[in-house]
């Protein structure tokens, strides 16, 4: 019965990997957690810190995640 410890370690590894990233597919540098959602630090000044990947209008860009999917607030 060596399979049971093996299965338990696999579950533990999966659990640890899943906990490394707080949510979604956010990159590892998105360490600022707001309401369980990973935000890159500097989120209070998105027009400076987020536009390079989330688009000049913050509606997706190369990251493909729009800030307005979750926020009604419009940045400008
Ligand atoms: C270097 C590129 C890059 C920059 C700069 C960047 N992001 Fe992201 N961000 C991404 C990518 C890539 C994803 C994942 C997209 C996907 O889900 O496929 C993402 C996802 C997110 C998500 C969704 C996380 C989730 O769990 O659903 C949030 C929120 C977010 N970013 C916030 C921010 C904020 C706020 C800033 C500016 C302070 C920022 N990002 C700057 C690349 C970037
Ligand atoms: C998957 C949902 C989601 C996405 C996408 C997302 N956020 Fe958030 N954000 C949240 C949640 C949840 C909170 C915490 C609750 C709140 O303050 O509204 C939050 C909080 C914030 C806050 C701090 C509090 C506030 O409301 O002002 C800022 C600033 C912020 N987000 C900016 C951004 C920016 C910029 C982007 C796009 C790069 C983004 N968010 C994308 C879910 C998201």
Ligand 2: centre distance to CA 8 (Å): 36
Ligand 2: centre distance to CA 15 (Å): 26
pLDDT in tens, 34-63: 999 999 999 999 999 999 999 999 999 999
Q: Is 58 left (phi over 0), alpha (psi -120 to 50) or beta?
A: left
Q: Give the tokens for residue 75.
A: 């940045």
Q: Which helix (H) or strand (E) holds 37?
A: strand 37-39
Nearest bound ligand to the CA of residue 75? 2
The answer to whether residue 21 scores a pLDDT higher than 60 is no
Averaged pLDDT score across all residues of the chain: 84
């Amino acid at each position: 019965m060596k399979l049971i410890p093996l299965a338990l370690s696999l579950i533990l590894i999966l659990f640890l990997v899943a906990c490394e990233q707080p949510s979604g597919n956010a990159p590892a540098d998105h360490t600022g957690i707001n309401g369980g959602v990973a935000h890159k630090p500097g989120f209070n000044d998105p027009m400076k810190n987020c536009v390079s990947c989330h688009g000049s209008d913050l509606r997706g860009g190369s990251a493909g995640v729009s800030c307005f999917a979750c926020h009604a607030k419009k940045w400008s």
